[in-house]
C-alpha cells in the first residue's frame, strides 16, 4: 500500500483504499462445496466454468460478494468475501443452503491441521520477513530475469550468497503432543533449527511440523531431535504435502 501510494503521479486521478478492515471471509470447504454454492447463487459453479484459482463478483442470496476458488484445506473450497455490514446475511444464506448437504461449522485448528497435511504455508507463521523466498521454497515464484521489481537487488544478493536456512516438513515420532512454534531442533546438544508450525494430521495419521533448519539438514530422510515440552523426541524430514499429492480433491 505504501509503495503504491507513494508512486501515484500528480497527473493521475487515482485513489487507493485498503478494504482489509471492511470485509470478512466465509469459507465453504469439502466435496459438496460446489453444490452449496449452486444452491444459493445463480452463477454457474461448474468445474469447467469456474475452475480452481478463479475469481468472480456475484450475489450470495441478496448479498454482493467476491468469490475465489481457492483452498487452504486441500479440499474443494471457496472463499466468499463480503462487506462486514452484509456478513450475517451471507452467513444465513450459506447456512440455509448447506443444510441439505449436512454442512457444519469448522474451526481454525481444523484448518491448521489440513493446511499442514497439504503442504501449505501460513503468513507470519511460516512465511516471515526474516527469510527470503529461496529459504522458504517459494523461489518458483521469483524471476530474477525481470527488468525490475521491488527488492530485486537484495534478492539477487541473497541468491548469490545461498540460503542460510531452509524450511522443511517434519514427521514427529510422538502421539501425545504436537510441536509448538519456537521449539528447538537439536543435534549433539546444538540448536540446528526452529519449529514454525505444528499440528496432528488426522487424514494422513502423522504428527506434522514445519521448521527452519540449517541447509545441510533439509534433505528428506534427515533425522534430528526435537525438544518437545522438555522431552527429546526423534523427528524426520519428509516431503511437503503428504495429503492428496495428485491434487485430485482440490481440483475436483
DSSP 133-197: HHHHT-GGG--TTSS--TTHHHHHHHHHH--S-EEEEEEES-SS----TTPEEEETTEEEEEEEE
pLDDT at 210: 99
The answer on pLDDT for 2 being more than 90 is no
Domains observed in the chain = 2-106 (3.30.1360.120), 119-238 (2.40.30.110)
Q: What is the DSSP letter of 127?
A: B
pLDDT at 55: 98
The SS3 assignment for 11 reads coil
pLDDT at 229: 87
pLDDT at 3: 86
Show Cβ contacts of residue 137 under 8 Å, excluding neighbours closer than 6 positions. Answer: 166, 167, 240
pLDDT at 1: 85
- pLDDT tens digit string along 92-111? 999 999 999 999 999 999 99
Find out whether 71 and 77 touch, Cβ atoms under 8 Å: yes
Instruction: Using a pLDDT cut of 70, give the percent of the chain over it.
Output: 100
pLDDT at 243: 97
The answer on pLDDT for 141 being more than 90 is yes
- pLDDT tens digit string along 108-124? 999 999 999 999 999 99
Q: Stretch 219-246: mean pLDDT, rounded?
A: 96
What is the pLDDT of the chain when averaged over all its residues? 96
CA distance 213 to 220: 12
Find out whether 155 and 144 touch, Cβ atoms under 8 Å: yes
Pairing of strands 206-213, 190-201: antiparallel
The answer on pLDDT for 47 being more than 90 is yes
The pTM of this model reads 0.90
Q: Which three cell numbers stand for residue 8?
A: 501515484
Amino acid at each position: 500500500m505504501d509503495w503504491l501510494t507513494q508512486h501515484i503521479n500528480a497527473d493521475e486521478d487515482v485513489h487507493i483504499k485498503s478494504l482489509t478492515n471492511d470485509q470478512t471471509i466465509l469459507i465453504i470447504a469439502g466435496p459438496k462445496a460446489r453444490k452449496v454454492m449452486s444452491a444459493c447463487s445463480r452463477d454457474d459453479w461448474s468445474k469447467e466454468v469456474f475452475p480452481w484459482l478463479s475469481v468472480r463478483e456475484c450475489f450470495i442470496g441478496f448479498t454482493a460478494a467476491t468469490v475465489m476458488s481457492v483452498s487452504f484445506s486441500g479440499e474443494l473450497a471457496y472463499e466468499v468475501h463480503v462487506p462486514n455490514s452484509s456478513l450475517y446475511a451471507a452467513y444465513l444464506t450459506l447456512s440455509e443452503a448447506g443444510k441439505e448437504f449436512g454442512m457444519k461449522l469448522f474451526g481454525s485448528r481444523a484448518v491448521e491441521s489440513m493446511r499442514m497435511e497439504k503442504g501449505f504455508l501460513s503468513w507470519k507463521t511460516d512465511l516471515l520477513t526474516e527469510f527470503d523466498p529461496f529459504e522458504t521454497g517459494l523461489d518458483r515464484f521469483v524471476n530474477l530475469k525481470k527488468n525490475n521489481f521491488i527488492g530485486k537487488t537484495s534478492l539477487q544478493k541473497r541468491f548469490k550468497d545461498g540460503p542460510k536456512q531452509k524450511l522443511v516438513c517434519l514427521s514427529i515420532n510422538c502421539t501425545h503432543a504436537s510441536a509448538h512454534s519456537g521449539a528447538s531442533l537439536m543435534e549433539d546438544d546444538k540448536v540446528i533449527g526452529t519449529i514454525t508450525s505444528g499440528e496432528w494430521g488426522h487424514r494422513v495419521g502423522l504428527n506434522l511440523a514445519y521448521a527452519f533448519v540449517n541447509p545441510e539438514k533439509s534433505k528428506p530422510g534427515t533425522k534430528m531431535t526435537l525438544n518437545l515440552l522438555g522431552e527429546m523426541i526423534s523427528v524426520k524430514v519428509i516431503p511437503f504435502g503428504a495429503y492428496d499429492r495428485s491434487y485430485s480433491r482440490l481440483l475436483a
